[in-house]
Amino acid sequence: MKNWTGIILFLTSLLLIACEANEIGTEIQPTEDKLSVKTDSFSVSAISELVSKRYSESDKLFLGKYDDPIYGSSKFDFLAEFRYINADFPSTAKAKSIQVVLYYKTFFGDSTAVQEAAVYQLNKPLLFEENYTSDINVEEFCDKSVVLGKKVYVAYDPTIPDSLKEEPDFCNTVKVDLPIAMAETLIADRSLTQSQSNFLNFIKGVFVTNEYKGQVVLDVDSVNLEVSYDYIPDASKPDSLVSDVRIYPLNKETTGVLRISEVKTPNLENIPDSLIYLSSYLGLVPKIELPIDRIREKLGFNKGDIISINNMSLILEEALCADSTLTELDVPPYVILIREADIDKFFTQSLYPAEGINTVLGVYEKDIRAYRFNNLADYLHTILYEGLEEDEINPFYVLPVTGVTDIEGTDAVIRHQFRPSGVRLRSPQNEKSNMRLSITYTKL
C-alpha cells in the first residue's frame, strides 16, 4: 500500500458531458463587433450502472460490513504484506507476543456491534507492480487453511477514557494475537530480517476479514505486524529487563489490496427513471452518453462555421426523496467524469495528472445540493475540431474519488473512493429539474 500523506483534492479540469432534444437558445449580437454569442442548453443522457472492477489501492483500508436501506450492502476486507526491517534482535531477546495491529481513528455504523476479526496466512505473495482490483479473487492467494488468529472487538471501546481519545495522536486499535512460535522463529533466525524476500518466506502476507455479521466498518489508517519482546541490555545486570516492540509495517514499499464482496444493490429495473444512483462502496454510478452529433448540428459545425467554445458546464442535482431520512450516508464530496476507455489508464498511473487523459473534477456544493462541472470548453472544442465520432467518445462515468499528495506535497494520486457514501441524482427524465448541459459559444 503506497502510504501517501495529506489528503487534498486540487485536481484541475478537463472532460465530459451530454445532451438531448430540449434546447434553449439566446443570442446576443453586439453592434460594435458583430459577433454572435449564443448559449444553448441540452439535457444529458444517463443511467445507473454497477461497476464491479475498481482499482483497490486506496489511501485507507476498510474492514466490516454495511447495509443501507436505500443503496444496499457490501463487505470490506483486505490482503496485506509487511515490510522487513533490517535489524537484529538483541542476543538476550525473549518473545512476548506477535500481533497484527489495525489502527483507526474513525468508523462508520453501529459503534456497539460485536465483531470478530480473523487473520489468515497467505499461500501466495502479492506482486508489488500489479494493479489489483476490488473484486480480487482471494482464493488465489489464500485458501484459509491456516488461521493465524482471531479477535472479538467493538468499534468504540468504552473502557478507554474520553480524555485519552481526545488526544490528537490517539488511534483505536484491533490487536490480533498470532502464534508465539512465529515471534520466537523471527528472533532466532536473523536471516529472516536481512531482506524482503527472506521476510516473505517467513510470512507471505495476511488476509484480514470479519467473521461476524454486523453494521460497522472500520476506517483503517495503518496495519502493522508487531513483535513485543524483553531483553537484558547489560549482562552484568541480569535484573535490568527492558521491553521493546519491533514493527514491520504495511507501507508504500509493500502491497495492500482492498476487497469488496457480497454486494447487494437495489434492483436497477425498479429504480424510477427520474433518479440516477451514485454510491462509493457499491460501485453503482452514473453512465453518461454524449450526443456529439446533436451538438455539432446545433452549434453549426456541420455547416463549416468557425466556432469558439467560451464555456461548457454540467450540473448534476441531488434528488431529495421522501425516504431520504432512512439513510445515514453522506454525499460523496468529490467525483470525476471520465471516458470509459480511459479508466484503466487513469487509475493505473502512479501520479496525477495522467498524460493524454481528459478528466474533470466535480465538487458537491451544499448550498445548491449539486455537483457542478465547469471548464469543459477546451475538451469539447477538441472533440468537435478533431472530428471524433460518438462511438469513439462514449460512454462516460461519474466516479467518486479521493486525492492525496506525497510527503513533499508535490505529486498527487487520485484513487477510487470506497468509504460508504451515496446520493441520488435527478435524471434526464426528471420533470422537476433534469440533468443539463449548458454551452456558450461564439460564431467568428
- Give the pLDDT of residue 303: 65
Q: Residue 33, CB half-sphere, CA atoms under 13 Å: how many?
A: 7
- Give the pLDDT of residue 354: 67
- Positive or negative torsion for Cα 147, 151, 155, 161: negative
Q: Residue 135, CB half-sphere, CA atoms under 13 Å: how many?
A: 8
Q: CA-CA distances (angstroms) from residue 41 to 47, 107, 166, 262? A: 20, 42, 51, 41
d(Cα 382, Cα 441) in Å, to the nearest integer?
A: 14
The model's pTM is 0.85
Across the 444 residues of the chain, what is the mean pLDDT of every consecutive 10-residue run? 39 35 44 71 89 79 94 95 95 96 93 94 93 94 94 92 88 97 96 96 96 88 97 84 96 93 89 93 92 81 75 91 91 92 83 72 93 83 76 90 62 83 94 88 82
d(Cα 95, Cα 169) in Å, to the nearest integer?
A: 27
E strand or H helix at 260, and its extent?
strand 256-264
Q: At 226, is the secondary structure helix, strand, or coil?
A: strand
**Nine-digit cell at 96?**
512476548
d(Cα 319, Cα 271) in Å, to the nearest integer?
A: 13
